Amino acid sequence: MASLRCFLRSGKNAMAALQRSGFHSSAPAAVQMMVRDALNQAMDEELERDERVFLLGEEVAQYDGAYKVSRGLWKKYGDQRIIDTPISEMGFTGIAVGAAFAGLRPICEFMTFNFSMQAIDQVINSAAKTCYMSAGFQAVPIVFRGPNGSSAGVAAQHSQCFAAWYAHCPGLKVVSPWNSEDAKGLLKAAIRDDNPVVFMENELMYGVPFEMSEEALSKDFVLPIGKAKIERPGNHVTLVSHSRCVGHCLDAAAVLAKEGIECEVINLRSIRPMDTDAIEASVMKTNHLVTVEGGWPQFGVGAEICAKIMEGPAFNYLDAPVTRVTGVDIPMPYAKILEDNSVPQIKDIIFSIKKTLNV
Amino acid sequence: MSVLIEYFLNITDLVSHELPHFEGLFSRRSLRRCVSLHCDLHGLEEGPADTAVLTRDQGLSYYRCMQTIRRMELKADQLYKQKIIRGFCHLYDGQEACAAGIEAGIERTDHVITAYRAHAFTYTRGVSVREILAELTGRQGGVAKGKGGSMHMYAPHFYGGNGIVGAQVPLGAGIALACQYQGNGQICVALYGDGAANQGQLFETYNMAALWKLPCVFVCENNRYGMGTSVERAAASTDYYKRGDFIPGLRVDGMDVLCVREATKFAADHCRSGKGPILMELQTYRYHGHSMSDPGVSYRTREEVQEVRSKNDPISLLKERMLSNNMASAEELKEIDGEIRKEVDDAAQFATSDPEPPLDDLCKYIYHNSPPVQVRGTNPWAKLQSVSSS
């Protein structure tokens, strides 16, 4: 089933890659890469490119990363550049920010973003606000990265999505990749960015393979922060999503295509700054908007999109109110049946689209 | 441990023709005075050297520095009462010897970070009184162009000015990590107060700093009160120099600029030699309350404040030492006072007349080196554009 899902998601990309490369007669050597390996490659390349870049966090060095994202980096770069920290989030996050003040370019890993709450003062008050408070004198080139949102069976304290929390704050950039290309291109961009970037990965995506174009495999493949990607064009309804839910949207779109409903699926890639123009342009074409996220509904990413659409030119093109598909407004339960029904499923997306289209 | 302070005259002063009116006053021999100064040690076999040299130039320099800080803080008090300065204003008068002594004990290329009682360090790290006062009054000529205010002033190798109690300590250790990483032989001095000493993130920082031997001098400015809470009511152990546990520590009189300087030099050498972090407690006192909204007398007596002022004032201490050892004359010091008064008055004049930042500055410097992004104003039609620094 996983491989079928994989094909569903990557099918479009494979066709595009084939057409782009111009080899219509023989299949190109398509490289499959898992999201974790794309992240690994991004960090490896940036560590090599700039000696000021270093990684710190719990288990990032000798354990190869709690989720093996930093596998091999310690062996290659050593103690000075890949640093195992004690379990001291507030302390090591502050240390990372201080290092960024003084000329280094740290990558600060949170084992999951749930633990970032221990350190959130350093992220917001010491990192995000400093460039502004100092009138541009003190830049803070730092990346905070780690898995965000729900996983599988890890229960309430380990399943929260922090997209809305961090994206609320000026001074931060907040990025949420979906596939391997996103992961690599956006992480490289985040590391090269001179500002604090919150980079939200997803644990369930780490092991999912995607096709990587030749361009994406190159050492200078960088995606712009603040630009969304249209993963699938369509005319009837706009689906806007980020992270893992993008895959669910594409799956829902594939099912609906058989019924003659063509969904335009937008992968936000960046939550802050958000590519409002892309959403508006799409809505002005399709006249219907459905947002899909894993996080809670109140004050969330979908809520923000609704507000933005209301305030902009696309409002007059809506034939129906915007629909938000979100996680259920509860702490994440443990039992599988409950957990499965706490997050948007493909059937919820299909149902919501049909309601929005009134079909 | 007693410390001998040796005073002698800078030989060039004797032959200098710049100050002809003093020729008759100075002895042509070096003068020595034994002064017993207390230094408590924790985890250290030896403390700072037991002799220190104070030259006339140094003495005048420290005097000028401390007096400028004093006058600047008192001017800020005045401007605050006139409602020209607003919001938070945490004044440093009484603690001058700490800032002056630390700056005297480190190199210009070393790094300093402190909490919100930061005006003095902003000055010692090279920002003019003008730019500090103009920042307090929120003008475009302020060191942070009016964007930061009292608690958020920055300069090369000076990282503020931090509003969240204790947050500056891990930041300081991070700066030290950068020094170690870059192998530049520099150290970081990370200051905090007796109140912040109970913050958990300090202990996390001590652990990592010791583990990784970060070249960080942790300095506790113990002024006996964390806002309105005396040390006895806040800390199970008020031996702040011992709170680093496995980190060696020393405690000195923070009202004596020479003690602070010597302790700082000792601590800086310790770090620079690769031995790892060290903790320094400076016993000091603030005359003002915690901030301008605190009269400072509900939790301590006026007599206590008066006692420190009359017996232990850092500027008076230095002045008396210099006068009684013929290192300077009263007239000379008075002349310096006059110069400082003028400097501070001019700075205040600038701070009150400089224009406020233009509204265009609202969305400037949210980011660094970044393409402009649209910034939402107070209403949907207020579409502003960010301008990044570069």
Question: For residue range B193-222, what is the model confidence (pLDDT) as tens digits?
Answer: 999 999 999 999 999 999 999 999 999 999
Do A72 and A164 lie in a common domain? Answer: yes
Q: Between chain A and chain B, how many beta carbons pairs sit less than 8 Å apart?
A: 158
Query: How far, in Å, CA of A71 to CA of A65, rounded?
Result: 6
CA angle A61, A66, A67 (to 5 degrees): 115
Look up residue B64 and give its two tokens.
């000028």
Q: What are the two backbone dihedrals, phi and then psi, of residue A68, each rounded to the nearest 5 degrees?
A: 65, 20
Look up residue B158 and give its two tokens.
């000076």
Rg value, chain A, Cα: 20
Asked which of A151, A181, A212 is the last residue of a domain, the reply is A212
To test the contact with chain A by mutation, choose from B370, B379, B381, B390 the residue with the greatest count of A C-beta atoms within 10 A, namely: B370
Cβ contacts of B167 on chain A, cutoff 8 Å: 94, 121-122, 125-126
Q: Is residue A11 part of a domain?
A: no
The predicted-structure confidence for A60-116, as pLDDT tens digits, reads as follows: 999 999 999 999 999 999 999 999 999 999 999 999 999 999 999 999 999 999 999
Asked which of A212, A238, A262 is the last residue of a domain, the reply is A212
CATH number at residue A303: 3.40.50.920
Do A204 and A298 lie in a common domain? Answer: no
Peptide bond into B20 cis (omega under 30): no
Q: Is residue A90 part of a domain?
A: yes
Helices (H), chain B: 11-15, 56-81, 96-105, 119-124, 129-136, 168-182, 200-211, 231-234, 257-272, 302-312, 314-324, 330-353
Q: Which helix (H) or strand (E) holds A6?
A: helix A2-21
Do A244 and A178 lie in a common domain? Answer: no
Do A145 and A53 lie in a common domain? Answer: yes
Asked which of A187, A212, A237 is the last residue of a domain, the reply is A212
Catalytic residue positions of A?
89, 158
Torsion sign (Cα): A12, A14, A18, A24: negative
Do A83 and A168 lie in a common domain? Answer: yes
User: Does B172 lie at the interface with A, CB-CB under 8 angstroms?
Assistant: yes
Do A241 and A159 lie in a common domain? Answer: no
Do A205 and A297 lie in a common domain? Answer: no
Say how many Å lie between the first and final Cα of chain B, rounded.
52
Do A283 and A186 lie in a common domain? Answer: no
Bridge partners of B53? B6
B14 — pLDDT class (breaks 50, 70, 90): very low
Do A47 and A121 lie in a common domain? Answer: yes
| B-proximal residues of A, 109-148, CB under 8 Å | 121-122, 125-126, 131-141
Q: Is residue A150 part of a domain?
A: yes
| Residues in chain A, overall count | 359
Do A201 and A234 lie in a common domain? Answer: no
Task: Name the more confident of B26 and B268.
Answer: B268
Q: Which pLDDT score, from 0 to 100, does residue B37 have? A: 61
User: Does A92 lie at the interface with B, CB-CB under 8 angstroms?
Assistant: yes
| B-proximal residues of A, 10-49, CB under 8 Å | none
Number of domains, chain A: 2
Q: Is residue A159 part of a domain?
A: yes
A112: number of CA atoms within 13 Å, CB side?
A: 16
Bridge partners of B101? none
User: Does B170 lie at the interface with A, CB-CB under 8 angstroms?
Assistant: yes
Q: Which domain holds residue A334?
A: 229-357
Do A53 and A198 lie in a common domain? Answer: yes
State the DSSP code for A125: I
Q: Is residue A84 part of a domain?
A: yes
To test the contact with chain B by mutation, choose from A56, A88, A134 the residue with the greatest count of B C-beta atoms within 10 A, namely: A134
Bridge partners of A31? A212
Residue B207: closest CA among chain A residues belongs to which residue? Answer: A86
Q: Is residue A13 part of a domain?
A: no
Q: Which pLDDT score, from 0 to 100, does residue B51 have? A: 78
How far, in Å, are A105, A293, A311, B107, B178 from residue B173 at the CA level? 15, 38, 45, 18, 9
CATH number at residue A129: 3.40.50.970
Helices (H), B313-388: 314-324, 330-353
Q: Is residue A130 part of a domain?
A: yes
Residue B176: closest CA among chain A residues belongs to which residue? Answer: A99
Least confident of A32-46, A123-137, B47-61, B100-114: B47-61
Q: Is residue A151 part of a domain?
A: yes
Taking the CA atoms of residue B241, residue B243, residue B248 and residue B252 in that order, the dihedral angle to the nearest 10 degrees is: 0
User: Does B378 lie at the interface with A, CB-CB under 8 angstroms?
Assistant: no
Cβ contacts of B384 on chain A, cutoff 8 Å: none
Q: What is the mean pLDDT of residues B241-268?
A: 97
Q: Select from A181, A327, A352 the least CA-distant residue to A261.
A: A352
Q: Which pLDDT score, from 0 to 100, does residue A8 have? A: 47
Which pTM value belongs to this model? 0.92
Peptide bond into B248 cis (omega under 30): no
**Are the C-beta atoms of residues A41 and A47 closer than 8 Å to each other?**
no
Do A279 and A352 lie in a common domain? Answer: yes
Q: Which helix (H) or strand (E) holds B189?
A: strand B188-193
CA angle B283, B286, B289 (to 5 degrees): 140
Do the chains contact at A94 and B368, CB–CB below 8 Å? no
- Name residues whose C-beta falls within 8 Å of residue B311's C-beta, 6 or more positions apart in sequence: none
Query: How far, in Å, CA of A95 to CA of B8, rounded?
Result: 43
Q: Which helix (H) or strand (E) holds B40?
A: strand B39-42
